Amino acid sequence: MTPDYFIVDAFSHGPFTGNPAAVLLLADSASDAWMQAVAAEINLSATCFVWPRAAGDDLPWRLKWFTPSSEIVLCGHGTLACAHMLWQLGLAQGQTIRFDAGPQHFSLRCQLRQADSGAASISLDFPANHAEPGDIDPVLQNLLPAGIAAVGRSITVPGTLLIQLSEAEAVEHFSPDFAAILAATRDCLLLTAPGKRDGFDIVSRFFPLHAGFNEDPVTGSAHCMLAPWWQPRLHRQHLRCYQASSRGGTVDVSWDGKQTVQVTGRASTLLRGRWQSLINAITT
For residue range 66-115, what is the model confidence (pLDDT) as tens digits?
999 999 999 999 999 999 999 999 999 889 999 999 999 999 999 998 76
Chain segment 16-46, per-residue pLDDT in tens: 899 999 999 999 999 999 999 999 999 999 9
Judgement on whether residues 153 and 117 belong to the same structural domain of the protein: no
150 falls within a domain? yes
pTM of this structure: 0.90
- Range of the structural domain that residue 250 is part of: 131-258
User: Does pLDDT of 284 surpass 60?
Assistant: no
Domain membership flag for residue 281 = no
Q: Is 273 exposed, middle or buried (0-12, 13-18, 19+ CB in 10 A)?
A: exposed
Task: Say whether both 254 and 270 belong to one domain.
Answer: no
Average pLDDT over every residue of 231-256: 95
Asked whether residue 117 falls in the same domain as residue 53, the answer is: yes
DSSP string, 100-154: EETTTTEEEEEEEEE-TTS-EEEEEEEE---EEE----HHHHTTS-S-EEEEEEE
Q: Total domain count for the chain?
A: 2
- Residue 184 belongs to some domain of the structure: yes
Whether residue 77 sits in one domain with residue 20:
yes
